[in-house]
Amino acid sequence: MEEVSSESIVRHSTSRAKEQAVIVWALASAQYPLDHGVIQQEATVLLIESISNFSLNARRALESISGRTGIKLEQPRWRWVPKTEGEVAGDLWDSLNRIVHARKLEVGWEELPSDASVIAAGAIVVPYIQAETDRRPLAFIDPFAQAHAFLYRALPLLESGFRTTLPVQ
């Protein structure tokens, strides 16, 4: 059996995280019809699967570099404020860990104002994911901000590491 190097694992995880970040970006950017439960249910499943896959792979890739903490979630797609108690995650590393270790993971749906909706019957969007672990209380995590932070801040750090320290495949 062929041994897999840690560099190969990091490259693979980075590639998968990048793919899933784009999917999360798209799902968190969309407006969904307010009155169509099937679309909401399918989008919920896709987002939970994508954010979980993204978080696991992004975390695995980021473990290979210094500077993995301190990457802020600064770019929301939607303006929102939590309507219930809970911390708003502001750091990529913390938000990835919360999702990877979540015992509770729920998609937060919020209605758009009618003047912002492009869907005639009204629209809802996904401004946050709610995650709770056995060690951390409920937190609100912005999936778009996560994808943005990874693609614009973490990915360049990972890719520069590939060019300087990891052999090119």
Phi first, then psi, for residue 109 (nearest 5°) are: -100, 135
Of 113 and 29, the one with more pLDDT: 29
Any idea which residue has 């693979």 for tokens? 12
Give residue 101's pLDDT band: very low, low, confident or very high (50, 70, 90): very high
- pLDDT on residue 130: 95
Query: Whole-angstrom Cα distance, residue 134 to residue 121?
Result: 40
- Specify the long-range contacts of residues 61-70, CB closer than 8 Å, at least 24 apart: 61/10, 61/13, 61/14, 61/17, 61/154, 61/158, 62/92, 62/93, 62/96, 62/154, 62/158, 64/6, 64/10, 64/158, 64/161, 65/157, 65/158, 65/161, 67/157, 68/92, 68/93, 68/154, 69/93, 69/94
140's tokens: 């609100």
- 8 Å CB contact between 158 and 14: yes
User: What pTM, to 2 d.p., does this model score?
Assistant: 0.89
Going from N- to C-terminal start, the domains of the chain cover 6-164
Strand 87-88 to 102-111 pairing: unpaired
Q: What is the mean pLDDT of residues 21-46?
A: 96
Which DSSP letter does residue 153 get?
Answer: I
The three-class DSSP label of residue 157 is helix
- pLDDT on residue 169: 38
